[in-house]
Each structure stands twice: as structure tokens, then as C-alpha cells.
Structure 1
């Protein structure tokens, strides 16, 4: 029993610095808003359109992941410095790729993502039209 208790205490002693480090964010604006409400609104609008790279299903505005906190801080710092949201978005896309944006740009690499759904809808329309406009065969 003493050995189990000693092992548990040793594990907690080594794990404590890791938990403490996670709680201390190096990003000053990760959880703190900008003083200027107009700039904070710009930052918030932009953060809602950027995908968390760790969570993948949440925007950086909604995610509690450490990288999302760093990205929120980065967005707020750049907005406070006077950069436009589109310039910040372009920089993040250049740095992390198109995946970081919920609103991907139409480029030479992404055009199939926009074209394939339209082609599928057209094929479905043609098949349905053909199915429902068939003429009855003679003798029936």
C-alpha cells in the first residue's frame, strides 16, 4: 500500500509542472479582449471564420485548445496594431494553408471543391428528368 501511495505521489509531482505550464498562456490576448470595442468586434468576427487547427470542428473563437488561444492572441495583437482582417486572414492562410479558413478562396487548387457539387446536382437533375419524362411504351 505504501509503495502504491509513493508511486502515486511521484506521478503527481512530475505531472504538476505540465499542468501548470498548460494553464499559463504565453499569449496575452488569448482570453482578454481589446480595450477598443470596434477593434474587438473586428477581431471577434475574424476569429469566428478561422478554424482551430487542433479541434478542427470549432472556430478559434470557440476552442479552448492552446493553439486556438495563441491564434486569438495573434489576431487581437495584429488588429490592435492596425492590420485589416483580410490581411491577417491572408497571412494565416499563407502560414497554415487554406484549411484554416472556413471561407476558402477560389484558386487553381480549390476549384474542384466548388465545381464537383454543381456537376453532381446537374447529373441528378438530368437523371430525374429522364426518369419522370419517359413516354409510355406502345400497347400499354
Structure 2
């Protein structure tokens, strides 16, 4: 009796786990559409997940957005139109590579500016120390 219970329980758990990881199979009109779908889902970030793209995320909203992208591709919309739609709806957060404009300039160029400032300070300190060592000698 208990052996049958445990066997049934393990089978039930196995079925639940295997069906939860099943991916939907999407049929595309062409291989170009399939490649566009893959590129778009790799380039767009899941709004719920901080560091996952739509392809890797299993969140409900990511599944909905993948289905939305699939529908838009089948309707003949371009990749730019799909990205513009996603940005208009969810903001620039959905872009892994934000656009270059004034609002994102600090993100793109800030690290280089900090590195340059650090290098200048390093050189000034080294020159000052060298002068002090030469003065003391």
C-alpha cells in the first residue's frame, strides 16, 4: 500500500515538473521571421525580471510579451515597429542597449569620465610625491 502511494506521488510530481518546463512551439512563416523573433526576445528585457531577457524569463509577463512579439511578426510589422511598441508601453527599461541621448549620456560616458579623472589624480599625486622626494634628498 505505501509503496503504491509513494510511486504514485513521485509520478505525479514528475508529471507536474515536466509540464511546467514545456516551451510552446511557435510556427513561423519563414526562417527570417524565426530569427527576428529570437533576436527581439534576446534584445528586450523582461519588465518583471531585472536581468533577464524575454527569451530566458519564465515570468508570466515575459510569456505574454513573447506571444505579442510573435503576433506582431506574423502581422508583418518590422522589428523597429515592435521595439517602438515595447518602449512606448514599458519604457526604455525593456531595452538592454539603451539609446544614446542626453538622458542616458551619463550611463554611457560616466565610467570613462571617472576613469580619466582617477588617472589625472593619480598622475598629480605621483608628481607631487616625486617632487617631495627630490626636495628632501
TM range (shorter): 0.7 to 0.9
Q: Gaps spanning 5+ residues in structure 2: where?
A: 1-19
- Asked whether the equivalents of residues 54 and 67 of structure 1 are also in contact (C-alpha less than 8 Å), the reply is yes
Given candidates 24, 33, 38, the residue that maps to 1:31 is: 24
Runs (4+) of structure 1 exceeding 6 A deviation are: none
Per the alignment, residue 68 of structure 2 pairs with: 74
* 2: CA distance, partners of 1:136 / 1:69: 64
CA RMSD across the alignment: 1.9
* Bigger share in helix: 2
Per the alignment, residue 139 of structure 1 pairs with: 136
TM-score by length of 1: 0.71
How far did 1:131 drift?
Answer: 3.0
Q: Gaps spanning 5+ residues in structure 1: where?
A: 1-22, 24-29
Is residue 112 of structure 2 the alignment partner of residue 118 of structure 1?
Answer: yes
TM-score by length of 2: 0.72
Equivalenced residues, count: 112
- SS at structure 2 position matched to 1:48: helix
* 1: CA distance, partners of 2:59 / 2:72: 20
